[in-house]
Structure 1
Amino acid sequence: LHRVTFNQPECRNFLDQVPNGKSPYRFGNPAKGIGRLSPEMFGSIPNNALKFFVLYQRYPSLGNAIADLETDWHPSCLTHNDLKLNNILVHREWEQFSTSSPPDQSMVRLIDWERCAWGDPAFDLGTIIASYLGIWLSSLVVDPTIKLEESLRLAVTPLQVLQPSIAALTQAYLTAFPGIESARPNWLKRVVQFTGLALIHQIQAMIYYQKSFDNTGICMLQVAKSLLCRPKQSVPTVFGISESELISNPVIP
């Protein structure tokens, strides 16, 4: 979908059409920092959740990284903009599918397209990778007496179990869309940064809907900070292999 709509003006023009005076395809730039706390928010957010905003303000580099990502936003194709694992349906008989299967018999379907718009493809891939990392982070053994590094190591679902799937997903993406690297030389760096941004969005969802920000949220914020501020160094952590290995070993269809 990214590849066939990439830099296609007719697709962009279609999305810009405004039925009844309002376009349903306007999502905007998701690379926004955390806004200021309003008096209304103080009344709706529990005290322990306010710690997130305190920690966020403590790291100027985090806000700067998000600001740079906002500046480097390149809307260039149709994007889903909510590409989480629970928005991906896999056919119950997926093992019987092959590359020669008819187009109307898709092995995978994406649902919940309410946020689809003309956007940046790196955001979609970063969002789904963050969904994988969320499985790892939600399984952490967290306790005030345990250091962050130890909590990450003691996860019920270790990151090492998820890394092969994350790497295979990214390599399959590169196989399906081989031109993205030449069109966006810093593509992988931005994917990693958008992964960190998506983790922050997950934290915000926990705060606003579950009214919670616990030690798991603190660990998630630390990981998000590393991805946003040190994307190059974070590649082996996310994918389990180096950038050169990831890019030079595409999936053969």
Structure 2
Amino acid sequence: MLGRPEIVGYLIDRGLLSPSHVVGDDLAVLDFSRRHVNFAVTTTGGPRYFLKQARDPAGRAALAREAAVYRHFQDSDDLPGILARYHSFDVELGVLLLEFGRENTTLRGACLDRRRPSVTGAATAGRGLARFHQLTGSADAPLPPPCPPWVVRIHRPGSRILQEFSATNIELIRIIQAHPRFGGLLDELADGYEETAFMHGDVRWDNCLLMVSERGRSTRMRLVDLELAGKGDAAWDVGCFFGEYLGSWVLSLPVTAGAMDSALIGTAAHPLDAMQPAIRAFWRSYEKEYERGTGRKIEPAFLRRAAAFAGGRLIQMAFEHTQEAPQMTSQAICLLQLSLNVMERPAEAAGHLLGIAA
């Protein structure tokens, strides 16, 4: 396992950094470890690298899968504007090495670190995601097999999921299983899932890197974390993007009693009506770029499916919210409540919650 002291030498040995970067004192090694051991290496005016290292065999397999996705697209003309530059996957050490440009924030920062979410950031994300869904890549480097979202089968969990989840996560599964409508709605999501495009599989604000100008306008986006990317349903990615806004709204409500009510709506730290202009900008940019690239308009049914998939993303957020929680939280219950409403009435959710006519 490479630690912070070994990272610079690893890059110098591969000719990706020079001793002058170290002598010039313009180099920084930043730790962004989460599920993997991650380091960002930045230089002033020079290259910027990101190294992902696996902690265990499962993580190594995930990074090998991500590397296969990068290899599939490394010769694509569209790749430089959407994904990081792929350098290598060190099989022996389990290290995925990527190079980035001048991106300086995530979409989360552009949405939550200001009074209103960035409209230009959302529009940039919409264009980028639509382009991403049209990538084809190289036939010589086949894509890994698809990874359908686990959440659509969460009411019938396998033994592996139960081993990875916390006790509070398992309590959430029991709540879903006990509800008379949840299982059927999740089955409908699974039945409506279509493997018709190249999809990211894990769209969330933290995985959208933005280049933001000094005037605060977003000019470019790169998608990161491609471990789940492959053949799949573009509507799932779009729905996950919608779900990020809805979930952030719910998690900003001062909920204490375990359910949302009308009295709480106006007390959110991140009000939904302040998010809707960004949601609409994302969707309009996605529609426009999709039509430009394919010559076809998006069918209305796609938006309804994406809105329903937003309910699936809300369930995921409930599990993420309770992964480390010692007991069930009111916010998690509210996320489940909203997910149920969205999946039951996706067209209404698109209009009333997202601010988009379905």
Q: TM-score, normalised by structure 2?
A: 0.55
Match of residue 86 from structure 1: 206
Match of residue 66 from structure 1: 186
Within 2, Cα distance between the matches of 1:160 and 1:173?
20
Match of residue 205 from structure 1: 320
Distance 1:123 1:169, change over 3 A: same
Match of residue 153 from structure 2: 32
**How far 1:82 sits from its partner (Å)?**
1.0
**How far 1:177 sits from its partner (Å)?**
0.8
CA contact (8 A) 1:49 1:211 kept: no
> Deviation string for 1:28-68 (max 9, x for gaps)?
35432323586x9599744x655523431233322212111
| Larger relative contact order (CA 8 Å, sep ≥ 6) | 1
**How far 1:219 sits from its partner (Å)?**
0.9
Q: Which has the larger radius of gyration?
A: 2
**How far 1:191 sits from its partner (Å)?**
0.5
Match of residue 192 from structure 1: 307
CA contact (8 A) 1:76 1:120 kept: yes
Match of residue 114 from structure 1: 227
Within 2, Cα distance between the matches of 1:32 and 1:198?
13
Distance 1:195 1:4, change over 3 A: closer
* 1:48-59 alignment runs, 5 A limit: 51-59=171-179
Distance 1:124 1:14, change over 3 A: farther
Within 2, Cα distance between the matches of 1:45 and 1:62?
21
Within 1, Cα distance between the matches of 2:180 and 2:145?
33
SS in 2 for 1:226: helix
Distance 1:165 1:4, change over 3 A: closer
Structure with greater proportional helix content:
1
Within 2, Cα distance between the matches of 1:61 and 1:192?
17
Within 1, Cα distance between the matches of 2:225 and 2:312?
20
What root-mean-square deviation, in Å, do the aligned CA atoms of Structure 1 and Structure 2 show? 3.3
Within 2, Cα distance between the matches of 1:88 and 1:158?
22
% identity of equivalent residues:
23
Q: TM-score, normalised by structure 1?
A: 0.75
> Deviation string for 1:9-38 (max 9, x for gaps)?
x659566x3xxxxx6453235432323586
CA contact (8 A) 1:25 1:116 kept: no
* 1:1-253 alignment runs, 5 A limit: 2=130, 6=134, 11=137, 17=142, 24-30=144-150, 31-36=152-157, 41=162, 45-46=166-167, 51-93=171-213, 95=215, 107-144=220-257, 148-178=261-291, 184-243=299-358
SS in 2 for 1:74: coil
SS in 1 for 2:222: strand
Q: Which runs of 5+ in 1 are unaligned?
A: 18-22, 99-105, 244-253
CA contact (8 A) 1:77 1:120 kept: yes
AA paired with 1:33?
I
SS in 1 for 2:323: helix
